[in-house]
């Protein structure tokens, strides 16, 4: 029984992190999608900080999660650089399209 509760707790924490992290991924997608080469756009942390309601420590936690899921890549140059991967691009685009369908269904 305890093992099941522990597993459920870990799963619910994972789901929460995934949802919060995907909000950051969607934000990254919104920033890079207008670029002619969005998969090579070098996003700086300040661009996320200015557009997000979260503090840097939360954003950084979500970036680490997204990187483990192979949805983004981070590099440390003079400052941190964030790029969206093909996998991340496709996931964010799919969410955008599914949300557009949901909005159209409501109307």
The residue with greater pLDDT, 44 or 103, is: 44
pTM: 0.77
Look at residue 103 in the predicted model and tell me its pLDDT.
46
Of 55, 67, 81, nearest to 21 (Cα)? 67
pLDDT at 104 over 90: no
Looking at 25-34, 38-47, 88-97, which range is the least confident one? 88-97
| Minimum mean pLDDT range among 37-41, 54-58, 92-96 | 92-96
Q: What is the CATH number of domain 2-106?
A: 1.10.10.10
Of 20 and 66, more confident: 66
Quick count: other Cβ atoms within 10 Å of Cβ 28?
27
78 half-sphere exposure, CB direction, 13 A CA radius: 2
Q: What is the DSSP letter of 76?
A: E
Q: CA 40, 31, 25 angle in degrees (round to 5)?
A: 85
Which residue ranges make up each domain of the chain? 2-106
């Amino acid at each position: 029984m305890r093992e099941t509760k522990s597993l459920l707790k870990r799963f619910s924490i994972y789901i929460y992190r995934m949802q919060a992290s995907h909000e950051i991924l969607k934000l990254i997608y919104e920033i890079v999608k207008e670029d002619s080469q969005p998969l090579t756009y070098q996003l700086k942390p300040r661009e996320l900080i200015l557009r997000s309601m979260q503090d840097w420590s939360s954003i950084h936690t979500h970036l680490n999660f997204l990187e483990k899921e192979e949805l983004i890549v981070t590099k440390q140059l003079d400052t941190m650089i964030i790029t969206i991967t093909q996998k991340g691009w496709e996931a964010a685009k799919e969410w955008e399209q599914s949300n557009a369908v949901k909005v159209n269904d409501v109307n």
